[in-house]
């Protein structure tokens, strides 16, 4: 069974996608909407992947300990694990009602009375599983303040971007403890970026200025749609793409489904940490800073200055250019799906409701995970917010983090 889930904006409660029968997929979707949807304005990239990994860690813990019980027992235990993990994430916010609504909507379809003896046992197991993850991740470094200090205004050095947050997103990410016992994230950083003196750098700048401008005449309609299509949270989009590949195959095997989605979201979280470790190791400027700079800074003497230039996607995210976070997520996601799928060839349908510029729903079919990751990466160039040189190295960073996560997973999955 192949299916796609269209991303829907949240209002007072969560928009519930059609239930495929896979309880883990249901909670992945609810988590993605709650963590990255409009109800809270969306989290920055490392925290959003961290949050969904925490939920899936709780779900897997409940599934493992309930594996000898009935399917309904497993589904109820997993649901309360996900619910309590989300409540922990949103402590003190109005998301309580939205999380409760997600649980309330699914309980009747599970068919096990939470007030029965078996139901009470399942609920207790789910709650304990969420508490275990919360305790393990309470002091992992994400809460710690790291004061990012901008460098000088030499060409190539990261600066605040127009419309962006003056405090960059999550500078503490390189110091957060990775998932599944991965250890120090530093070895997974990307190599140094190309220097400005490299002729390829100038070529990238020229391409970006033309193809990524808000009113570009060089960008095709398909490329514009590609920028819009991949604009949403990578955690949300790539989890939906995973749903489309897996379909209902794991609906009655809760532990297997829980394992896959924990692997998947642990890998995304580790990829984000590796990507942000790369970003803050090199602190390279964003395209809008480079193009709006008024002096001649390219070694060739070419003047690319345009103070009025702006990107298609806006505002530019508040973190350094190299490597592209979207590319990193895509590399990691494709690697995990590829491992489960036994190869790169898929038949996946994905839709995205694009609110920017009133574009509307865009639907794409992907037959190759590699092609999907590469398109996702290139979308940030079409959108004018990443140089091409930040893209493909990002895919490699994500792949490496994901493969290490998969290698460690069976032994260290409960080292949240």
State pLDDT tens for residues 176-216.
Answer: 999 999 999 999 999 999 999 999 999 999 999 999 999 99
pLDDT greater than 60 at residue 5: no
Which architecture characterizes domain 23-412 according to CATH? Orthogonal Bundle (1.10)
Q: How far apart are CA 386 and CA 328, in angstroms?
A: 13
pLDDT at 339: 98
Nearest of 2, 1, 35, 31 to residue 16 by alpha carbon = 31
pLDDT digits (tens, 9 = 90+) for 356-406: 888 899 999 999 999 999 999 999 999 999 999 999 999 999 999 999 999
Confidence band for 355, pLDDT divided at 50, 70 and 90: confident
Q: Where are the alpha helices (DSSP H) in 138-219?
A: 199-211
- 258 three-class SS: helix
pLDDT at 245: 97
pLDDT greater than 60 at residue 67: yes
pLDDT at 19: 77
> Cβ distance 110 to 76 under 8 Å?
yes
pLDDT greater than 90 at residue 41: no
pLDDT digits (tens, 9 = 90+) for 202-255: 999 999 999 999 999 999 999 999 999 999 899 999 999 999 999 999 999 999
pLDDT at 63: 98
pLDDT digits (tens, 9 = 90+) for 309-318: 999 999 999 9
> Cβ distance 234 to 33 under 8 Å?
no
pLDDT at 16: 44
pLDDT greater than 50 at residue 10: no
Q: pTM of this prediction?
A: 0.94
| Of 25-34, 89-98, 219-228, highest mean pLDDT | 219-228
> Cβ distance 13 to 98 under 8 Å?
yes
The percent of residues above 90 in pLDDT, for the chain, comes to 86
pLDDT at 42: 62
- Average pLDDT of the residues of the chain: 92
pLDDT greater than 50 at residue 26: yes
pLDDT at 44: 77
pLDDT greater than 90 at residue 256: yes
Question: Would you tell me the crossing angle of helices 71-89 and 117-137 to the nearest 10 degrees?
Answer: 40
pLDDT at 37: 66
pLDDT digits (tens, 9 = 90+) for 106-156: 999 999 999 999 999 999 999 999 999 999 999 999 999 999 999 999 999
349-366: b (≥16 Cβ within 10 Å) or e: bbbbebeeeebeebebeb
Q: How far apart are CA 46 and CA 234, in angstroms?
A: 11
38-60: b (≥16 Cβ within 10 Å) or e: ebeebbbbbbbbbbbbbbbbbbb
Confidence band for 293, pLDDT divided at 50, 70 and 90: very high
The percent of residues above 70 in pLDDT, for the chain, comes to 94
């Amino acid at each position: 069974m192949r299916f796609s889930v269209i991303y829907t904006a949240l209002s007072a409660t969560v928009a519930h996608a059609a239930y495929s029968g896979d309880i883990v997929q249901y909670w992945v979707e609810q988590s993605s909407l709650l963590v990255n949807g409009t109800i809270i304005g969306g989290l920055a990239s490392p925290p959003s992947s961290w949050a969904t990994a925490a939920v899936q860690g709780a779900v897997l813990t409940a599934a493992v300990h309930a594996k000898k019980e009935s399917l309904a027992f497993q589904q109820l235990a997993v649901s309360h694990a996900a619910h309590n993990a989300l409540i922990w994430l949103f402590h003190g916010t109005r998301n309580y009602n939205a999380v409760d609504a997600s649980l309330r909507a699914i309980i009747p379809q599970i068919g096990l009375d939470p007030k029965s003896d078996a139901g009470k046992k399942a609920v207790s197991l789910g709650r304990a599983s969420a508490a275990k993850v919360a305790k393990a991740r309470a002091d992992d470094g994400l809460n710690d303040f790291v004061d990012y200090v901008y460098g000088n205004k030499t060409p190539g050095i990261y600066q605040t971007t127009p419309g962006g947050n003056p405090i960059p997103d999550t500078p503490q990410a390189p110091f957060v403890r990775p998932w599944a016992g991965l250890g120090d994230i530093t070895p997974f950083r990307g190599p140094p970026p190309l220097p400005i003196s490299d002729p390829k750098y100038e070529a990238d700048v020229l391409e970006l200025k033309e193809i990524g401008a808000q009113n570009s005449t060089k960008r095709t309609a398909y490329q514009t749609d590609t920028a819009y299509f991949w604009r949403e949270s990578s955690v949300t989009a790539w989890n939906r793409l995973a749903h489309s590949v897996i379909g209902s195959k794991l609906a009655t095997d809760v532990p297997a489904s829980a394992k896959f989605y924990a692997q998947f979201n642990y890998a995304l979280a580790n990829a984000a940490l590796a990507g942000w470790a790369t970003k803050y190791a090199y602190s390279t400027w964003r395209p809008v800073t480079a193009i709006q700079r008024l002096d001649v800074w390219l070694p060739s003497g070419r003047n690319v200055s345009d103070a009025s230039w702006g990107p298609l996607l806006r505002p530019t995210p508040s973190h350094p250019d190299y490597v592209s976070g979207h590319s990193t997520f895509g590399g990691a996601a494709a690697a995990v799906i590829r491992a489960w799928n036994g190869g790169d060839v898929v038949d996946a349908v994905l839709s995205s409701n694009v609110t920017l510029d009133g574009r509307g729903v865009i639907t794409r079919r992907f037959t190759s995970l590699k092609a999907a990751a590469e398109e996702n990466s290139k979308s940030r160039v079409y959108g004018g917010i990443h140089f091409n040189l930040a893209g493909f190295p990002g895919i490699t960073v994500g792949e490496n983090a994901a493969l290490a996560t998969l290698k460690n997973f069976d032994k260290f999955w409960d080292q949240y």
